[in-house]
Amino acid sequence: MNAPSHDTATTAFETLAVHAAEPRPAHGGSVVHPLYQGTVFESVPGESYDELKYIRLNTNPSQQHLHEKLAALEGAEAAVATASGMAAITTTLLATLAAGDHVIAAGSFYGGTHHFLTEQAPRLGWNVDFVGPDDHDAWAEAMRPRTKAFLVETISNPLARVADLAGIAAFSREHGITSIIDNTFATPVVFRPHTIGFDLVCHSATKALNGHSDLVAGVVTGTEEAIGRIRHVLNLYGGSLDPHAGFLLARGLKTLALRVRQQNTGSLALARFLEGHKGIAQVNHPGLESHPDHARATELFDGYGSVFSFRPTGGVEAAESLLKGLRLPYVAPSLGGVESLVTRPAVTSHAGMSAEEREAEGIHDDLIRFSTGIEAPDDLIADFAQALGA
């Protein structure tokens, strides 16, 4: 693709989001990259099977354009988009692990990821050890001759914990295992894991990368070699992203920095308000000085993310009453959109876990997760004030 050269180390993120991977001269003079929905393209002599232009093979011109933009934003050599965030995680693990291999998983995870690791991984012959996100001794004790990967989330869902990410990347390099991080909650606006040594970065692009609550997609970024292996597995399992969804995702990426920074501002302002309110028992937000990982988040991140959780005083009844009293946010799962969303993870994102598993992770039934949109922070605070007052 005839794209301009951008130095991702020096070009401002806002500029990269708009111009990275955009061809010059533009196709037909259009400043918006066209959508190629076609499945059939003329083949070129000498092409390998994986080079044929075909949607399932992730080689459609619209898919290639999206991959180049995603790689530029994460500061990676290459990227591949998938049909969902779970497809990104599972395909990455499938490309990394074989039957009999072992993966270390640090901290708590999105419910779907946790369910896959506890239910499907054993069926694939994988061994999984869950360890503390800061417990270096436990990491070392978990190591086995066939340990091949270390998996972690940048900001955990839904308790917003921040693991010792630099330590995990260094530990993985020291032991020659693949470090994999789910960067969905942070986005590359807040944190770029490759800069501290992570091998593979995954996203649910359904969330903030797209930002408009109108598509489902996933992303994996890494070296050309690693993404080549992942794309090969993805081609065989058929979890490729449709070009039209990719077209919408590329559109959403152009405003990523503007959206995420507004969301971060509103999120922290609201968290500070809730922390000081008598109707709130606990707030989990890494931007708060009271958060156990505040210092680490401040050192690593540019902002603290848009998603946090809290517990009202009064248990589940109070939580449900609060959800009914709010007027601005939608009571709905998912996150990262321009509109604020609020939900109880126990009945949505983490409903696949048993009650005992949730309690062990600190995901209590009255826990509320809030995804901050781009609304004015003062309006969000006023809405919570009236709902808590009621």
CB 190 within 8 Å of CB 306 = no
In single-letter form, the type of residue at position 53 comes to: K
Among 207, 261, 344, 358, the active-site one is: 207
Euclidean distance between CA atoms 340 and 80, whole angstroms: 28
Please give the structure tokens belonging to residue 50.
């994986």
**Would you call 214 a catalytic residue per the annotation?**
no
Cis peptide upstream of residue 243 (ω within 30 degrees of 0): no
Among 101, 164, 182, 383, the active-site one is: 182
The closest of 83, 42, 85 to 244, measured between CA atoms, is 83
**Would you call 110 a catalytic residue per the annotation?**
yes
H or E segment and range at residue 182:
strand 178-182
CA distances from 84 to 80, 101, 144, 203, 349 (A): 12, 25, 31, 9, 15
Spell out the residues 6+ positions from residue 110 whose beta carbon is closer than 8 angstroms to its own: 153, 157, 182, 184, 204, 349, 350
**Would you call 56 a catalytic residue per the annotation?**
yes
Spell out the residues 6+ positions from residue 328 whose beta carbon is closer than 8 angstroms to its own: 340, 375, 379, 380, 383
Among 110, 164, 296, 344, the active-site one is: 110
The residue assigned the tokens 């600190």 is 362
| Residues carrying an active site annotation | 56, 110, 182, 207
